[in-house]
Structure 1
Amino acid sequence: MADEGDVLKNLDDGNAANAGNGADNQPVAGIVSQYVKDLSVENPKAPESFKWRQQPEMDVQFNIAARQISDELSEVELKVTATSKTSEGTAYIVDLSYCGLVGMRNLPEEQQHAFLYAEAPRILFPFARRVISDAVRDAGFTPLMLDPIDFNGLYVQQLQQKRAQEAAAGQAPAPGGEG
């Protein structure tokens, strides 16, 4: 039988990288909790809308917001509005605010920002998608299955646009100077 003391002895081998065994100094980020903060479902033309045969036009809007709750806790809000319309009127509107509490510790600020605006929404989206699908189904319509979203790609694209705008503003020719 192996000596059980060896396991604990090997945890701290004297290496500086392992010094302070148990110290909370490693970067960590994750979803602590998730919840529906607000859900509104409107079926303004029922029951007439159930007879409409025209293919509806779908308008789906997304917005991501984050706010700091404490030093290590932030709330990420994924807001989704889905509207179904035909020439006869609006069939339904679903407005969802789906949130997650995000815990982060020992992360550089740019990594925190990326986690809040790219990774956390990616994690939350499948749950928000299910809430919307169920809400549309419960309103009496065919469930709405939203396509996956590349939140990381959108985040990178927005960063590039912001940098291009800042560069253009910083490189504007001085009045009366050569362009």
Structure 2
Amino acid sequence: MAEAEAATPTAPQMRVLGQFIRDLSFENIMAQKGAPADVQPDVQMQINLEPKKRPAENQYETAIKLNVTSKAKDADTVLFALEIDYVGIFHIEGVPEDQMHPFLMIECPRMIFPFLRRIVSDITRDGGFPPLNLENIDFVTLYRNEVARLQAEQKGKADA
């Protein structure tokens, strides 16, 4: 009986220990250049994730790096540019080592994304634009794309 209990893996446990803005930049280019206010925006977004182990036992962090550029649809005029590096600090136990990277790239950003969404909405509204409400991000697809990109990069280096 004791052997069966010892062989049973523990369920993963995660706690958010903290979250913060590491870096933030918002440029209202439209106001600086005096562009007309009745412009239809075309919003482009890039997202990158950076997970890493922290020095403390069972502590990790995942940074969501978001770059948003809004341009006028009819012209190539930039309306605003937003860059934010948002970090979550996590205490994680019970995740096998081979599953830690996907956990940090999928589950951790999923936990802190609603807070990032709120910050982006507030910044764009306070910057004089309609609030930018980010759509949900499929972190599983984002992770798979990153793995495929890394594999292609490795294959390219092996062929060279």
TM-score band w.r.t. shorter chain? 0.7 to 0.9
Corresponding residue number in structure 1 for 2:141: 153
* TM-score normalised by length of structure 2: 0.79
Following superposition, which runs of at least 4 residues in structure 1 exceed 6 angstroms of deviation? 167-170
Matches within 5 A, 1:119-138: 119-138=107-126
Over 3 Å counting, the alpha-carbon distance change for 1:18 and 1:142 in structure 2 is: same
Over 3 Å counting, the alpha-carbon distance change for 1:96 and 1:167 in structure 2 is: closer
Matches within 5 A, 1:97-136: 97-136=85-124
Corresponding residue number in structure 1 for 2:20: 35
Q: Is the 8 A contact 2:12 2:93 kept in 1?
A: yes
Q: How far did residue 90 of structure 1 move?
A: 1.9
Corresponding residue number in structure 1 for 2:60: 74
Count residues with an aligned counterpart.
151
Letter of the 1:159 partner, please give it: V
CA distance in 1, matches of 2:24, 2:153: 36
Q: How far did residue 161 of structure 1 move?
A: 5.1
Letter of the 2:97 partner, please give it: E
| RMSD, matched Cα | 2.5
CA distance in 2, matches of 1:96, 1:168: 32
Over 3 Å counting, the alpha-carbon distance change for 1:109 and 1:56 in structure 2 is: same
SS in 1 for 2:132: coil
Report sequence identity in percent.
34
Q: How far did residue 137 of structure 1 move?
A: 0.2
Q: Is the 8 A contact 1:82 1:93 kept in 2?
A: yes
Q: What are structure 1's unaligned runs of at least 5 residues?
A: 1-14, 20-24, 173-179
Q: What are structure 2's unaligned runs of at least 5 residues?
A: none
Q: Is the 8 A contact 1:41 1:92 kept in 2?
A: yes
SS in 2 for 1:46: helix
Q: How far did residue 141 of structure 1 move?
A: 0.5
Letter of the 1:79 partner, please give it: K
Letter of the 1:139 partner, please give it: G
Corresponding residue number in structure 2 for 1:45: 30
Q: How far did residue 18 of structure 1 move?
A: 5.7
Q: Is the 8 A contact 1:104 1:112 kept in 2?
A: no
Q: Comparing 97-106 with 25-34, which one deviates more in the overlay? A: 25-34
* TM-score normalised by length of structure 1: 0.72
Corresponding residue number in structure 2 for 1:62: 47
Q: Deviations over 1:129-154 (max 9, x none)?
A: 11011100000100111111110122
CA distance in 2, matches of 1:42, 1:169: 38
